[in-house]
Structure 1
Amino acid sequence: MDPELAALVVDARFEELGIVGAYTAPGGEPVSVRVFRSRDEDTAAGFGESRPLVRAVTVQVRASEASPAKGGHFDIGGQVMRVEGQPRIEDPARLIWTCQAVPV
């Protein structure tokens, strides 16, 4: 797919269906973003030698709006979630960050 067309499709999808929120990088200021948030799911969290299950969500944000990092926070509808693990870009056009986040 043409990169410009891919960007138009992604932008239209986020503008039409995305949820307004904010992202704050570690030590940074909040920036307004539109995100997609998945339903809660159980994921293993590192805690010393044990790996307890915690309730996590998948948050997707456009790369043009934010560069999420481990330890950053999303505020979506008043719910604050901390980014766990390294965010990754999985889409072929490299336009969308995918993050695992846990409620704070």
Structure 2
Amino acid sequence: MDAFAAATDALFADPNIARDAVWRAGGAGAGVAVRIITRRPDQVIGFGDSRGVLPTMLIDVRRAEVSDAASGDTVEIDGEIFEIIATPTADSLRLVWSCEAAARF
């Protein structure tokens, strides 16, 4: 294992940064247990001369745990379900998927 993979594993193992979740491919089935890191940055959207601030939810998951993340997958975090709403992107080392998600009602 190289240093970057080891550092990534350490981040996802840290209870102060990452947490347990259940990943369901296509939003169905029993799912698999994964460790995720969530980020909730606000996004500024322009509307002509105005701007609006929208909340976003980004979920990072290791590619070692979810090899083929896709739009339509769901993630259950503490009983709340989020749906992946855009095509996930991989980091430059191809170790982590970053996924945009929205709460599923």
Common topology (TM > 0.5): yes
**For residues 31-56 of structure 1, what are the alpha-carbon distances to aligned partners after superposition, in whole Å with 9 as ceiling and x for unaligned?**
00100111264588xxxxxxxx9753
Q: Which residue of 2 is the match for residue 89 of structure 1?
A: 90
Q: Superposed, which structure 2 residues align to 1:58-77 within 5 Å?
A: 58-66=58-66, 67-77=68-78
Segments of 5+ residues of structure 2 without an aligned counterpart are: 46-52
What RMSD over aligned residues (CA atoms) do the two structures have, in Å?
A: 2.1
Instruction: Find the aligned partners of 1:29 and 1:63 in 2 and give their Cα distance.
Output: 19
Segments of 5+ residues of structure 1 without an aligned counterpart are: 45-52
Q: Which residue of 2 is the match for residue 23 of structure 1?
A: 23
Q: Which residue of 2 is the match for residue 101 of structure 1?
A: 101
Instruction: Find the aligned partners of 1:20 and 1:30 in 2 and give their Cα distance.
Output: 13
Instruction: Determine what percentage of the aligned residue pairs are the same residue.
Output: 25
Aligned residue pairs total: 93
TM-score for both structures, normalised by structure 1 = 0.78
Q: After the TM superposition, which segments of 4 or more aligned residues of structure 1 sit over 3 Å from their partners?
A: 40-44, 53-56
Amino acid at match of 1:102: A
